[in-house]
Amino acid sequence: MGGLFGVVSKSDCVKDIYYGTDYHSQLGTKRGGMAVLNSAGIKRTIHNIEYNYFRTKFEPDLPKFNGHKGIGVISDFDAQPLIVSSHLGTFGIVTVGKINNIAALTARAFKLKKQFSEILTGEDNPTEVVASLICEEDSFEAGIQHVFSRVKGSCSMLILTASGIYAARDNLGRTPIVIGRKKGAYAAASENCAFPNLGYEEDSFLGPGEVVFITAEGVEQKVPPGEKMQVCSFLWVYYGYPASDYEDINVEWVRNQCGAALARRDDEEIDFVAGIPDSGIGHAIGYASERQIPYLRPFVKYTPTWPRSFMPQDQKLRDLVAKMKLIPVKRLIDGQRILFCEDSIVRGTQLKDNIQILYECGAKEAHMRPACPCLIHPCEFLNFSTSRSTLDLAGRQMIKKIEGVEDKNLEEYADAGSAKNLEMIDLIRQKLKLTSLKYQTLDDLVEAIGLPKEQLCTHCWDGTSYF
């Protein structure tokens, strides 16, 4: 996925950019970058963060930076920020999203006799493609709208210019941008959890397709928001940090509501409830509170040295991190009937290993309650599943086992409670060696978030979203 952070201030803003960008680390997997503008121009630094934290990589660079304007990014794919010299002036740019038609856009650019220089492992840099589209127009506002009209997928961005920062939210609002303010400064972020400790107060959420221009004096709307929105539901289920809000709806609150919804549909006799750290915890607390059942921690996360398993790009390394970071507490497990809440089941490999450890520690029963429906479709709009084939999804594996092909009767399998849906889920349960497995219904998830279904992207569950 990725996260953005930018600041325009009346004083030096480097530390705000540094810490603000770091607060987006849960959103990205591969690279981090900062760019700061001063009288000498734009200075940038980019580092690989696959095996190190953003702060440890960038702290040695801080003395080299100074300025009143800057942008930062946590990226799960391309090297950013980019610095571009053009007829619009010199500018820095960072983006978040996924361009599905990048091959067509680059072919079009070549017909216009353009070239690209930021080649990444044989592929064009999506941010450079976006910058190229912007420069086809006579203003940044027109250029951004040109990007929205051409890109299939999603794209939110920050553009650093000599006079301020343009913040533009994806045309359908799949990824968020929120504006913060404090005395003498304004900020734009993907996650508003970056604001409190830096002294910012939430000012406003950008609407889908909205473009604003930020200076130290204030925020000016350049393009009003569109009427259609398809914000990613997975922000609340998994991606987002618990302290963050999207569309003014808090992540932890939604996770509590998801857990409560699971509990209201459940009557399993259990001894206690637990959450798979970290994102499963909020769901589990909501479940335990609703059913008035104890919440305990049979797995504790060893945070001093093991990062979250989402970070490494390599699947084998992700699995290793997932295994090593969770330590079982045998005293709490032995002889117990345990119900776990989890954000989702993607491949199921890590979860299967965790369940095996539970049984080795003497668990009597192991029940699983994912906080969202079974994943059936790969994400078309963010980089959540770019490293996975369709058949890596546990749901698709079982559909193929039943049907002989992996893309037959998908609507029936997505229909909660249908015969095919229940057959698919039971096969997943058997594979994971669970005592019981019940998924959240899509209706309950939508109700927990609190937005109309048509304003949410639910593509990975029911395939209904659109470009």
Quote the strand ranges of 76-144, DSSP E: 82-86, 89-99, 119-120, 123-124
| 24, 46, 83, 111, 231 from 161: Cα distances, Å | 22, 19, 10, 29, 28
Instruction: Indicate the pairing of strand 123-124 with strand 119-120.
Output: antiparallel
The structure tokens listed for 78 are 């391309």
Please state, in angstroms and rounded to a whole number, the distance separating the CA atoms of residues 274 and 277.
9
- Residue among 403, 395, 6, 392 nearest 198 (CA): 6
Please state, in angstroms and rounded to a whole number, the distance separating the CA atoms of residues 218 and 232.
28
Backbone angles phi, psi at 248, to 5 degrees: 65, 25
Please state, in angstroms and rounded to a whole number, the distance separating the CA atoms of residues 225 and 205.
11
pLDDT for residue 115: 84
List of residues 6+ apart from 22 with CB closer than 8 A? 53, 54, 55, 58
pLDDT digits (tens, 9 = 90+) for 172-208: 999 999 999 999 999 999 999 999 999 999 999 999 9
Place of tokens 């400790």: 197
List of residues 6+ apart from 281 with CB closer than 8 A? 255, 275
Is-contact 353 318, C-beta < 8 A? no
pLDDT digits (tens, 9 = 90+) for 25-84: 999 888 999 999 999 999 999 999 988 889 999 999 999 999 999 999 999 888 999 999
Is-contact 54 1, C-beta < 8 A? no
Top-level CATH class of 249-462? alpha beta
Strand arrangement of the beta sheet that strand 218-223 belongs to: 82-86, 89-99, 153-160, 165-168, 211-215, 218-223
Is-contact 191 240, C-beta < 8 A? yes
Structure-derived torsion over alpha carbons of residues 98, 104, 106, 110, reported in degrees to the nearest 10: -170
pLDDT for residue 52: 84
Return the CATH architecture of domain 3-229.
Answer: 4-Layer Sandwich (3.60)
pLDDT for residue 387: 43
pLDDT for residue 388: 58
Taking the chain (467 residues) in runs of 10, the rounded mean pLDDT of each run is: 97 98 92 97 95 91 97 93 97 96 93 82 85 98 98 97 98 98 98 98 98 98 97 96 97 99 98 94 98 97 68 64 85 98 92 95 98 94 68 94 94 97 98 98 98 96 85
Provide the residue ranges of all domains of the chain, joining segments of one domain with +: 3-229, 249-462
pTM of the predicted model as reported, rounded to 2 decimal places: 0.94
